[in-house]
């Protein structure tokens, strides 16, 4: 077993060699809790939840840390607008975030630290940076002197001289260099504050993650992850702070998922962001889709690639998930009930006719967590399962059905898919229709048109024209129609 990881530091795939054999420490930058989380946040969380699941499936002892930023300029501004205390605001949105993560089928990290509970660790790091000559006090604030850290820009590939030349005129005359960033902010009227050796104030954003990750994972650990937008300046600044404090390399592997782009009706793409006002909260999307639909939508794309968001693509993901659960539904009806979910590995399935499928799945995940290929294995297994269910009764049919269900759901543990029952999946009723023109509700296609398409598909299957059969099925799925094949024939239902 060799897991290959694309390391943003160096920009190439590297074999995973952990600091302590058999153990992995991973830190992921969490959310700033001042509002509901959006689909961009969901991508980060689903990606790294799946990565952690796979590392565990490969037998590694994982310590997963994901923080909450619960003190920040945006938090202060929002609390002041609402006229409530900072703690009241952050607790509300931490609870909302946890509820959303539960709906997405997320496993809880081992440790979820809050920034406000780690001020002592932050102040200790800041004091050490001052002692090491990498930070300075000025006007009640403490700044990091970027030009004194020789490796600055190595992660992002940015040149310090170019950054200085391209920087805006900084009105803050307290800085020695316009690129210097704040470690400790002096207290301002109406803002929360804590005592420190440099006077009352609060921490800067970057020092929070350096302090929390190092406290729980050590002065050197294996994997640090987050969205691509955090490479600069956040992760670049974290490296400067942490290596400036400890005097040695800090993180072995840097992992970053791609942006989420919103695709307009005209096919134009733009980055999803709150500033552009084109984002969709997880909470709103969960009113229209099961959380597992959002999960398969995210995993259908490699984590490093941009993720295009549109309701057409989301509806396509829902149709694909329906196919998985249709196969499981057929198996449940044939068997009477589905067996309990148990994990499977290539080692556990030696001698099993499905060993090749299991190996293919794990080989895909070992190759920089290639979830599109891994998820495709689940669909291949569902197709095989349907063929067995449609075949004539035989002495080994029940055993074959059980085996396919067990392996399909066992692999699904790694990616967090196919874990519900078919009844739970199909009983979901959307509260809202978020995109009328592209809802996939099937409202725009008549029963007569559906019957004709089913008739044409049946003929195509009889003629062994499977490409045409699949095309018709996909057309029906795109219109919100679930196709149900059985020994008695084909039926359908509107979603």
Q: With 50 as the cut, is the pLDDT of residue 8 above it?
A: yes
Q: What is the mean pLDDT of the chain?
A: 91
Q: What is residue 157's predicted lDDT score, i.e. its pLDDT? A: 94
**C-alpha to C-alpha distance for 291 and 101, rounded to whole angstroms:** 9
Residue 32 sits at φ, ψ, to 5 deg, of -90, 115
Q: What is residue 440's predicted lDDT score, i.e. its pLDDT? A: 42
CB 65 within 8 A of CB 30: no
> What percent of the chain lies above the pLDDT cut of 70?
92
Q: Select the highest-mean-pLDDT range: 28-42, 170-184, 276-290.
A: 28-42
> Nearest CA to 262 among 318, 313, 317?
313
Q: What is residue 262's predicted lDDT score, i.e. its pLDDT? A: 83
User: Is pLDDT larger for residue 479 or for residue 168?
Assistant: 479
Q: What is residue 454's predicted lDDT score, i.e. its pLDDT? A: 86
Q: With 60 as the cut, is the pLDDT of residue 208 above it?
A: yes
Per-residue pLDDT of 329-338, as tens digits, reads 999 999 999 9
Per-residue pLDDT of 302-324, as tens digits, reads 999 999 998 888 999 999 999 99
Per-residue pLDDT of 116-175, as tens digits, reads 999 999 999 999 999 999 999 999 999 999 999 999 999 999 988 777 765 654 556 789
**C-alpha to C-alpha distance for 132 and 135, rounded to whole angstroms:** 8
Q: With 90 as the cut, is the pLDDT of residue 62 above it?
A: yes
CB 212 within 8 A of CB 122: no
Q: What is residue 480's predicted lDDT score, i.e. its pLDDT? A: 72
Q: What is the 3-state secondary structure (H, E, C) of the chain?
A: CCCEEEECCCCEEEECCCCCCCEEEEEECCCECCCCCEHHHHHHHHHHHHHHHHHHHCCCEEEEEECEECCCHHHHHHHHHHCCCHHHHHHHHHHHHHHHHHHCCCCCCCECCEHHHCHHHHHHHHHHHHHCCCEEEECCEEEECHHHCCCCCCCCCCCHHHHHHHCCCCCCCCCCCCCCEEEEEECCCCCCCECCCCCCEEECHHHHHHHHHHHHHCCCEEEEEEEHHHHHHHHHHHHHHHHHHHCCCCEEEEEEECCEEEECCCCCEEECCCCCCCCCEHHHHCCCCCHHHHHHHHHCCCCCCCEEECHHHHHHHHHHHHHHHHHHHHHHHHHCCCCCCCCCCCCCCCCCCCHHHHHHHHHHHHECCCHHHHHHHHHHHHHHHHHHHHCCCCCCHHHHHHHHHHHHHHHHHHHCCCCCCHHHHHCCCCCCCCCHHHCCCCCCCCHHHHHHHHHHHHHHHHCCCHHHHHHHHHHHHHCCEEEEEECCEEEEEEC
Q: With 50 as the cut, is the pLDDT of residue 439 above it?
A: no
Q: What is residue 327's predicted lDDT score, i.e. its pLDDT? A: 96
Q: With 50 as the cut, is the pLDDT of residue 48 above it?
A: yes
**C-alpha to C-alpha distance for 231 and 143, rounded to whole angstroms:** 20
The token duo for 239 is 């490296």
- The arithmetic mean of pLDDT across residues 209-223, rounded, is 98
Q: What is residue 449's predicted lDDT score, i.e. its pLDDT? A: 72
CB 253 within 8 A of CB 5: yes
**C-alpha to C-alpha distance for 423 and 335, rounded to whole angstroms:** 15
**C-alpha to C-alpha distance for 213 and 216, rounded to whole angstroms:** 6
Q: In sequence order, what are the beta bridge partners of 491?
A: 484
Residue-range domain boundaries for the chain: 17-261, 320-494
Which of 229-233, 272-276, 365-369 is the least confident region? 272-276
Per-residue pLDDT of 426-437, as tens digits, reads 999 988 887 644
Q: With 60 as the cut, is the pLDDT of residue 442 above it?
A: no
- The arithmetic mean of pLDDT across residues 213-229, rounded, is 97
Q: Which value, to the nearest 10 degrees, does the dihedral of the CA atoms of residues 178, 183, 189, 195 take?
A: -150
Q: What is residue 436's predicted lDDT score, i.e. its pLDDT? A: 41
Q: What is residue 470's predicted lDDT score, i.e. its pLDDT? A: 77
357-365, long-range: CB within 8 Å, 24+ apart, which pairs? 357/381, 357/407, 357/411, 358/407, 358/411, 361/411, 361/414, 362/57, 362/58, 365/54, 365/57, 365/414
CB 47 within 8 A of CB 294: no
**C-alpha to C-alpha distance for 24 and 60, rounded to whole angstroms:** 7
- The arithmetic mean of pLDDT across residues 10-14, rounded, is 97
pLDDT band of residue 438 (cuts 50, 70, 90) is: very low
Residue 389 sits at φ, ψ, to 5 deg, of -65, -30
pLDDT band of residue 408 (cuts 50, 70, 90) is: very high
Q: Report the CATH fold assignment for 17-261.
A: Rossmann fold (3.40.50)
**Residue with the two structure tokens 């940015």:** 158
pLDDT band of residue 39 (cuts 50, 70, 90) is: very high
- The arithmetic mean of pLDDT across residues 383-395, rounded, is 94
Q: What is residue 165's predicted lDDT score, i.e. its pLDDT? A: 61
Residue 260 sits at φ, ψ, to 5 deg, of -100, 125
Q: What is residue 484's predicted lDDT score, i.e. its pLDDT? A: 78
């Amino acid at each position: 077993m060799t897991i290959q990881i694309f390391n943003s530091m160096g920009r190439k795939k590297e074999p995973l060699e952990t600091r302590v054999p058999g153990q992995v420490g991973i830190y992921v930058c969490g959310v700033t809790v001042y509002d509901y989380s959006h689909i961009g946040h969901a991508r980060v969380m689903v990606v790294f939840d799946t990565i952690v699941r796979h590392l565990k499936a490969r037998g590694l002892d994982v310590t997963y840390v994901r923080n909450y930023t619960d003190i920040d300029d945006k938090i202060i501004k929002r609390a002041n607008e609402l006229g409530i205390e900072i703690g009241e605001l952050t607790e509300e949105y931490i609870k909302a975030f946890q509820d959303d993560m539960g709906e997405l089928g997320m496993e809880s990290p081992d440790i979820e630290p809050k920034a406000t509970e780690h001020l002592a660790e932050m102040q200790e790091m800041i004091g050490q940076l001052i002692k090491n000559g990498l930070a300075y006090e000025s006007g009640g604030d403490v700044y990091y002197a970027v030009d004194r850290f020789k490796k600055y820009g190595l992660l992002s590939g940015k040149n310090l001289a170019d950054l200085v030349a391209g920087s805006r005129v900084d009105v803050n005359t307290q800085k020695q260099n316009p690129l210097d960033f704040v470690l400790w902010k002096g207290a301002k009227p109406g803002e929360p504050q804590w005592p420190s050796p440099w006077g009352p104030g609060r921490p800067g954003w970057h020092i929070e993650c350096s302090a929390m990750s190092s406290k729980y994972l050590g002065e050197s650990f294996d994997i640090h992850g987050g969205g691509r937008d955090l490479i600069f300046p956040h992760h670049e600044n974290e490296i400067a702070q942490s290596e400036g404090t400890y005097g040695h390399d800090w993180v072995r592997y840097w992992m970053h998922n791609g942006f989420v782009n919103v695709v307009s009706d005209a096919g134009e793409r733009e980055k999803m962001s709150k500033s552009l006002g084109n984002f969709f909260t997880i909470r709103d999307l969960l009113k229209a889709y099961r959380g597992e639909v959002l999960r398969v939508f995210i995993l259908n794309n490699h984590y490093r690639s941009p993720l295009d968001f549109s309701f057409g693509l989301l509806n396509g993901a829902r149709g694909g998930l329906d196919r998985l659960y249709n196969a499981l539904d057929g198996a449940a009806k044939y068997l009477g009930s589905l067996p309990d979910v148990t994990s499977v590995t290539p080692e556990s399935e030696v001698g099993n006719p499905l060993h090749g499928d299991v190996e293919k799945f794990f080989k895909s995940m070992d190759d920089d967590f290639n979830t599109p290929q891994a998820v495709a294995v689940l669909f291949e297994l569902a197709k095989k399962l349907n063929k067995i269910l449609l075949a004539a009764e035989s002495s080994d049919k029940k055993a074959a059905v059980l085996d396919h269900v067990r392996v399909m759901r066992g692999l699904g543990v790694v990616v967090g898919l196919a874990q519900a029952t078919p009844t739970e999946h199909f009983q979901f009723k959307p509260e809202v229709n978020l995109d009328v023109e592209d809802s996939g509700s099937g409202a725009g296609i008549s029963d007569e048109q559906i019957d004709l398409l089913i008739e044409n598909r049946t003929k195509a299957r009889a003629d062994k024209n499977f490409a045409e059969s699949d095309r018709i099925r996909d057309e029906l799925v795109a219109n919100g129609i679930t196709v149900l094949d059985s020994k008695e024939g084909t039926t359908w239902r509107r979603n």
